[in-house]
Amino acid sequence: MEIFIERIKDPVEGREVEFVESKGIGHPDSICDAVCEECGQALAAYYRKRFGKVLHYNIDKALLVAGAAKPKFKGGRILSPIKLTIAGRATDRHGTKRLPVRKLIKDTAARYLKRFRLAKFDVAVDIKSAAANLEVVSRSKKAVANDTSFGASHYPFSKTEKLVLDVVDHLNSQQFRKMFPAAGPDVKVMGVRKKDVLELTVAIAFIGKHVKDMHDYIIINDGIAEHLIRRYGVKTGINTLDNVTGDENSVYLTVSGLSAEMGDDGQVGRGNRHNGIITPGRPMSIEAVAGKNPRHPGRSYQIAAYTIAKELVEKANVKSAEVSLVTDIGSPLETPNAVSIRTTGNVNKETVERIVKKNIRDAVNS
Tell me the DSSP string of 25-70.
TTSHHHHHHHHHHHHHHHHHHHHHHHHSSPPPEEEEEEEEE--EEE
Q: Is 141 exposed, middle or buried (0-12, 13-18, 19+ CB in 10 A)?
A: exposed
Tell me the CATH architecture of domain 159-267: 2-Layer Sandwich (3.30)
**Contact yes or no for 184/204 (Cβ under 8 A):** yes
List, by residue range, all CATH 3.30.300.340 domains of the chain.
Answer: 159-267
How far is Cα 313 from Cα 321, in angstroms, rounded to an integer? Answer: 7
What pLDDT is recorded for position 237? 96
What pLDDT is recorded for position 135? 59
List, by residue range, all CATH 3.30.300.10 domains of the chain.
Answer: 28-139
What pLDDT is recorded for position 175? 96
Determine the 3-state secondary structure of 253 from DSSP. strand
Domain 2-11+148-157+270-364 CATH (choose: 3.30.300.280, 3.90.1580.10, 3.30.70.60, 3.30.70.1380): 3.30.300.280
Q: Please name which of 27, 13, 12 lies closest in space to residue 272, comparing C-alpha atoms.
A: 27
Share of the chain above pLDDT 90, in %: 77
Torsion of the alpha carbons at 117, 118, 119 and 121, rounded to the nearest 10: 40
How far is Cα 52 from Cα 139, in angstroms, rounded to an integer? Answer: 12
Q: What are phi and psi of 50, to 5 degrees?
A: -85, -35
Query: How would DSSP label each residue in 79-92?
Result: EEPEEEEEEEEE--
Cis, peptide link before residue 156, omega less than 30° from 0: yes
Q: What is the pLDDT of residues 127-154, one digit of tens each?
A: 988 666 665 555 566 788 888 999 999 9
How far is Cα 101 from Cα 354, in angstroms, rounded to an integer? Answer: 39
Determine the 3-state secondary structure of 13 from DSSP. coil
Order of all β-strands in the sheet with 149-155: 2-7, 338-343, 321-327, 149-155
How far is Cα 235 from Cα 278, in angstroms, rounded to an integer? Answer: 20
What pLDDT is recorded for position 211? 97
**Contact yes or no for 84/124 (Cβ under 8 A):** yes
Q: Please name which of 321, 314, 322, 306 lies closest in space to residue 274, comparing C-alpha atoms.
A: 306
How far is Cα 187 from Cα 167, in angstroms, rounded to an integer? Answer: 10
With vertex at residue 188, the alpha carbon angle to CA 187 and CA 193, rounded to the nearest 5 degrees, is 145
Q: Name which of 46-50, 136-140, 209-213, 246-250 the model is least confident about.
A: 136-140
pTM of the model: 0.93
Q: What is the pLDDT of residues 18-66, one digit of tens each?
A: 999 999 999 999 999 999 999 999 999 999 999 888 888 999 999 999 9
Beta bridge partners of 124: 85
How far is Cα 151 from Cα 79, in angstroms, rounded to an integer? Answer: 41
Domain 28-139 CATH (choose: 1.10.390.10, 3.40.30.10, 3.30.300.10, 2.40.50.140): 3.30.300.10
